[in-house]
């Protein structure tokens, strides 16, 4: 007997039995589809969260970054002294140091007058610490008093800024301080902030009158071309106070990501949701396979009586599980692609359907169905050919 | 000619300890190739138990049961599976796979050996179904067939593998007189053509005349041969 026949015959029987009872087949497919969509959405939201959480950090332009060790993440920084950043200038590899100020403040919607909190970034417009072209293009405008650039990826609750700016209505209040929006940029929102504006450090101090220029949230260090980032990082760690982290660009992104994955309960919540999807799907598929075996007990016992071996029936059950996995996954994946698009258009979160995700979820669903099959085959022992006479 | 089924002082009991209940006591019988043997007897006389031991479906521990030269008493699973594959079974209920057509049900028997191509399997199954008078019902599912037709499909399933032995347990129990007699006649005719041994358990006295020999079992003991 060839390997193909070894699997083909039981698979064919499993298929014929599956399609015989259409109602049950549809119910089973919906069960797998449900689990599939649940897992896709959980992973999609989780990845979108990670992607958006680091969207600002991703656009920072620097070689090394100073952050207070008590800072959990960029969006809730612990301030440290600007002089600490200045000390880095003592290293001969350091070309320049630039502070970044962050603050959450209410932004007044120009149309509805309602206030909603967004993140305000204050920096030296000449420093080019953002690798965002639109910021560089408008750095001259930012040097003027009371001007900001608005992130057009911000949630729509802040108002249709693009249309308003075209109509010349660009005056609003941040933290009850009147400012003018002089342009739009593309930065990206996160779970921490629904919107962003960037402004000069002087304007930042005007918006937040209680902030002190000497207390900074993040320090950005640029090195001379050709300088070793790793070596300078090691030197700065020795030289600077122990309360600051000296991060490379990648380390900063990783630190931000870890916050959402581990420190915040969000990583756990999505992980838990994923597992729940797996368990719910498992129970559904198990129930279907189990009742199938129970109903077909006589048929299996008959086949055993005419000489079929136990292994044949195990292959029948696993083939059924495999068919259910595929039949549920295909529509589940299609539906998830639709839902990803919906989520992208409705909540403005990046939710790409990557091949990696498709493969991951399929493996997940396959393992779920295999596990269900594994649990269900114990029921096969109930098929005793001696009962057939 | 040597016996194809050779049973020597077979004893079998259900239960254990004080609850032990003997079913078969020192049963000795030899059945030659091509013989049609009917086993009759009241319910509880051990006929069906006897049949399941011969068929390798139930494990016996005392005595000797040689079927196709294989010792089944205290045998392992592989020996029993090998014997089962050389035996055709006809059950009291038809026990067809309800999701498969008559043709697919019959060719299930041939899929085990896998010495044939799919084409050959289907051809032989179709021939066998035609032989039992169901040539025009090949693609009907069991629930589209009458009780008599279903039993004829199960006869075709039992015979298509050209077994040396056919075991049948009350094959006419769920059939009326005419379709019951028809089914057994077809069975007899096809068996005689291919020198197949038939061991048939029944207490349907309408079909006794198909037998070469009638054996009566009562309380686990053979009464008359």
A16 → closest Cβ in B84, B100, B112: B100
Structural domains counted in chain B = 1
Is A4 an 8 Å CB contact of chain B?
A: no
Residue A197 pLDDT grade (very low, low, confident, very high; cuts 50, 70, 90): very high
Residue A336 pLDDT grade (very low, low, confident, very high; cuts 50, 70, 90): very high
Tens-digit pLDDT profile for residues A227-242: 999 999 999 999 998 8
Taking the CB of residue B202, how many other CB atoms lie within 10 A of it?
25
Using a CB-CB distance cutoff of 8 angstroms, which residues of chain B are in contact with residue A305? Answer: 55, 57, 84, 89, 91
Sign of the torsion angle spanned by Cα atoms A267, A273, A279, A281: negative
Using a CB-CB distance cutoff of 8 angstroms, which residues of chain A are in contact with residue B157? Answer: 306
Q: Taking CA atoms, what residue in B is nearest to A9?
A: B111
Residue B176 pLDDT grade (very low, low, confident, very high; cuts 50, 70, 90): confident
B95 → closest Cβ in A21, A298, A386: A298
Angle of helix A355-376 relative to helix A310-347, nearest 10 degrees, comes to: 140
Q: Are A57 and A74 in contact (CB under 8 A)?
A: yes
Structure tokens at B146: 């009458």
Compute the half-sphere exposure of residue A151: CA atoms within 13 Å on the CB side of its CA: 27
Using a CB-CB distance cutoff of 8 angstroms, which residues of chain B are in contact with residue A388? Answer: 57, 89, 91, 95
Structure tokens at A369: 């169905």
Asked, for residue B95, whether it belongs to a domain, the answer is no
Partner residues linked to B70 by β-bridges: B67
Q: Is a pLDDT exceeding 60 seen at residue B225?
A: no
Using a CB-CB distance cutoff of 8 angstroms, which residues of chain B are in contact with residue A316? Answer: none
Residue A78, C-beta contacts closer than 8 angstroms, at least 6 positions apart: A68, A70, A71
Note down the domain range covering B30: 1-86+205-225
Is A295 an 8 Å CB contact of chain B?
A: no
Under an 8 A CB cutoff, do B89 and A305 touch? yes
Using a CB-CB distance cutoff of 8 angstroms, which residues of chain A are in contact with residue B52? Answer: 386, 389
- The C-alpha atoms of residue A37 and residue A333 are separated, in whole angstroms, by 7
- Give start and end residues of each alpha helix (H) in chain A: 3-20, 22-53, 55-58, 82-87, 133-137, 139-142, 161-166, 201-207, 229-239, 249-258, 265-295, 297-305, 310-347, 355-376
Buried residues in A333-351 as b, exposed as e (16+ CB within 10 A): bebbeebbeebeeeebbbb
Q: Is a pLDDT exceeding 80 seen at residue A1?
A: no
Percent of chain B with pLDDT over 70: 98
**CB pairs A-B closer than 8 Å:** 70
> Taking an 8 Å Cβ-Cβ cutoff, which residues of chain B contact chain A?
48, 51-52, 55, 57-58, 81-82, 84-89, 91-93, 95, 97-100, 104, 108-109, 111-112, 114, 157-158, 169, 201
- The C-alpha atoms of residue B110 and residue B133 are separated, in whole angstroms, by 20
Asked, for residue B7, whether it belongs to a domain, the answer is yes
Asked, for residue B33, whether it belongs to a domain, the answer is yes
Asked, for residue B156, whether it belongs to a domain, the answer is no
A386 → closest Cβ in B52, B85, B158: B52
Percent of chain A with pLDDT over 90: 50
Is A22 an 8 Å CB contact of chain B?
A: no
- The C-alpha atoms of residue B123 and residue A172 are separated, in whole angstroms, by 86
Asked, for residue B64, whether it belongs to a domain, the answer is yes
Asked, for residue B162, whether it belongs to a domain, the answer is no
Residue A51 pLDDT grade (very low, low, confident, very high; cuts 50, 70, 90): confident
Tens-digit pLDDT profile for residues B91-121: 887 789 999 999 999 999 888 876 788 889 9
Q: Is a pLDDT exceeding 80 seen at residue B192?
A: yes
Residue A53 pLDDT grade (very low, low, confident, very high; cuts 50, 70, 90): confident
Using a CB-CB distance cutoff of 8 angstroms, which residues of chain B are in contact with residue A381? Answer: none
Structure tokens at A291: 């009742």
Under an 8 A CB cutoff, do B85 and A20 touch? no
Task: Assign residue B58 the CATH number of its domain.
Answer: 3.40.50.300
Residue A2, C-beta contacts closer than 8 angstroms, at least 6 positions apart: none
Asked, for residue B175, whether it belongs to a domain, the answer is no
Query: How high is the pLDDT of residue A273?
Result: 87
Query: How high is the pLDDT of residue A101?
Result: 95
Is A386 an 8 Å CB contact of chain B?
A: yes
Under an 8 A CB cutoff, do B92 and A389 touch? yes
Write the burial class of residue A280 (CB in 10 Å: 0-12 exposed, 13-18 middle, 19+ buried).
Answer: middle
Q: DSSP character for A79?
A: P
């Amino acid at each position: 007997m060839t390997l193909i026949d070894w699997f083909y015959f039981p698979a064919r029987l499993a298929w014929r039995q599956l399609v015989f009872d259409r109602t049950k087949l549809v119910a089973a497919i919906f069960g797998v589809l449900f689990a599939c969509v649940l897992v896709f959405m959980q992973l999609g939201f989780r990845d979108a969260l990670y992607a958006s959480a680091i969207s600002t950090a991703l656009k920072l332009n620097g070689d090394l970054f100073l952050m207070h060790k008590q800072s959990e993440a960029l969006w809730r920084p612990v301030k440290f002294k600007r002089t600490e950043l200045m000390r880095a200038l003592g290293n001969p590899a350091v070309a320049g140091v630039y502070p970044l100020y962050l603050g959450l403040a209410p932004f007044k919607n120009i149309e509805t007058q309602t206030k909603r909190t967004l993140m305000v970034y204050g920096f030296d417009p000449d420093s080019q610490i953002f690798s965002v072209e639109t910021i560089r293009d408008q750095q001259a405008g930012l040097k003027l008093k009371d001007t900001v650039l608005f992130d057009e990826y911000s949630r729509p609750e802040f108002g249709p800024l693009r249309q308003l700016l075209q109509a010349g209505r660009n005056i609003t209040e941040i933290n009850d301080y009147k400012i003018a929006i002089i342009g739009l940029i593309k930065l990206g929102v996160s779970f921490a902030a629904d919107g962003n504006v960037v402004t000069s450090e002087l304007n930042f101090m005007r918006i937040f009158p209680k902030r002190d220029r000497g207390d900074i949230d993040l320090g950005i260090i640029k090195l001379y071309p050709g300088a070793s980032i790793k070596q300078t990082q090691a030197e700065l760690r020795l030289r600077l106070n122990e309360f600051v982290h000296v991060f490379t660009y990648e380390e900063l992104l990783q630190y931000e990501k870890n916050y959402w994955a581990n420190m915040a309960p969000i990583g756990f919540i999505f992980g838990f949701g994923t597992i729940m999807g797996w368990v719910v799907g498992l129970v559904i598929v198990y129930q279907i396979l189990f009742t199938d075996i129970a109903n077909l007990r006589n048929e299996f016992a008959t086949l055993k009586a005419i000489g079929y071996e136990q292994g044949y029936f195990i292959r029948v059950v696993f083939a059924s599980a495999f068919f259910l996995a595929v039949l549920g996954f295909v529509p589940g994946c299609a539906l998830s692609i639709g839902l990803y698009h919906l989520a992208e258009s409705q909540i403005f979160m990046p939710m790409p359907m990557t091949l990696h995700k498709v493969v991951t979820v399929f493996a997940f669903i396959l393992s779920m169905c295999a596990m269900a099959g594994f649990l269900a085959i114990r029921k096969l022992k109930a098929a005793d050919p001696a009962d057939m006479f | 000619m040597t016996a194809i089924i050779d049973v020597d002082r077979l004893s079998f009991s259900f239960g254990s300890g004080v609850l032990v209940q003997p079913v078969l006591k020192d049963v000795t019988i030899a059945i030659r190739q091509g013989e049609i043997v009917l086993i009759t007897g009241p319910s509880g006389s051990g006929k069906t138990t006897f049949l399941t031991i011969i068929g390798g479906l139930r494990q016996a521990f005392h005595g000797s049961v040689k079927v196709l030269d294989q010792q089944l008493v205290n045998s392992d699973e592989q020996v029993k599976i090998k014997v089962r594959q050389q035996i055709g079974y006809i059950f009291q209920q038809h026990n067809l796979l309800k999701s498969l057509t008559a043709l697919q049900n019959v060719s299930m028997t041939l899929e085990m050996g896998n010495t044939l191509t799919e084409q050959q399997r289907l051809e032989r199954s179709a021939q066998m179904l035609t032989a039992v008078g169901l040539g025009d019902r090949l693609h009907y599912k069991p629930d589209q067939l009458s009780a008599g037709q279903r039993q004829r499909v199960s006869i075709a399933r039992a015979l298509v593998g050209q077994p040396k032995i056919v075991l049948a347990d009350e094959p006419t129990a769920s059939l009326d007189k005419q379709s019951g007699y028809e089914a057994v006649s077809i069975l007899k005719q096809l068996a005689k053509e291919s020198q197949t041994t038939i061991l048939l358990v029944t207490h349907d006295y309408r079909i006794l005349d198909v037998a070469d020999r009638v054996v009566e079992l009562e309380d686990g003991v053979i009464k008359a041969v």
